Amino acid sequence: MSAEAEAGSGGSTAYIQHHLQHLQWQVGEGKFMTLNVDSVVISLLLSLLFLVVFLRVSRKATAGVPGKFQTFVEMVVGFVDGLVRETFHGRSKLIAPLAITIFCIVFLMNFMDMIPVDWLPGAWMKLNELAGHDPHHAYLRVVPTADLNITLGLSLMVFLLIQVFAIGHKGVGTFVKEAFTAPFHAHGAVGKIILAPVNLLLRVIEELVRPLSLTLRLFGNMYAGELIFILIALMTWNAAFSSGLTYVMAPIQFISGFVWTAFHILVITLQAFIFMMLTIVYLSMSVESH
């Protein structure tokens, strides 16, 4: 959606609100649940893209001199595998593939923020207009990780994996015992009974903080990045109301967009890396005994 298309719909405020509105589907009677269709569909497509690319590379991998893309994939796999070996202190063949999957999918979701803010929403508006629908009510957000529901879903997946790994490595008995006996230890039955509620409360807080921190860190950074791109896109539209300012703001908009894009590439990569590393660290902590 172009900034000019919002001229008759409330100006810059409407433009921002339009870009921050999801394509939604009301599930059940009485709006039982609202589904952000754009976030779900784009997440599934990016996940499918990751699977297709990596499966194709693995099937075409050669023992001789690899191609450029195979070399790149092998570098990523080797780098992540090295991090897992240094960080994860348990034994599991699942951690390295899981870490690679998390990094690549989160990175792909973040990378959607690199697409100019008006391209895909504008194309969606045009399709709705051709179909005879009101283009101003055709909403589309293309950055899944700027949706709190997606980041929360990813974090809850990690949270469940933490519990599964902990029970798998320690057993149900030790897992439950640690919830009541750590971090504060006591000698004697009376001391253990007294400290059990405190230990359990601290354990619950510790476990809940992990998915919460993963959720808010990723969502906050990507939402802020998306909003800054939208504000940069508004520079020339706002200047159109002042005579002569459009020609001044156009190069400033271009430079601002270029600088923020270059910086944001680091942000999206770093956020994917942090999400992956924290997942590995949390899984490693879950298999260690107190």
Mean pLDDT of 158-183: 92
**Average pLDDT of the chain to the nearest whole number:** 88
Segment among 37-51, 97-111, 188-202, 272-286 with least mean pLDDT = 188-202
> Which residues carry out catalysis?
213, 217, 221
Mean pLDDT of 189-206: 89
Q: Per-residue pLDDT for 113 more than 50?
A: yes
Residue spans of the domains in the chain: they are 3-287
pLDDT, one tens digit per residue, over 128-162 is: 999 999 988 899 999 999 999 999 999 999 999 99
Mean pLDDT of 170-192: 87
pLDDT at 19: 92
Rounded to two decimals, the pTM is 0.90
pLDDT, one tens digit per residue, over 41-71 is: 999 999 999 999 989 888 887 777 778 888 8
Q: What is the DSSP string of the chain?
A: --GGGGTTTTHHHHHHHHHT---EEEETTTT-EEEEHHHHHHHHHHHHHHHHHHHHHHHS--SSS--HHHHHHHHHHHHHHHHHHHH--S--SSHHHHHHHHHHHHHHHHHGGGS-TTHHHHHHHHHHHHTTS-GGG------GGGSHHHHHHHHHHHHHHHHHHHHHHHHHHHHHHHHHHSSS--SSHHHHHHHHHHHHHHHHHHHHHHHHHHHHHHHHHHHHHHHHHHHHHTHHHHHTTSTTHHHHHHHHHHHHHHHHHHHHHHHHHHHHHHHHHHHHHHHHHHHS--
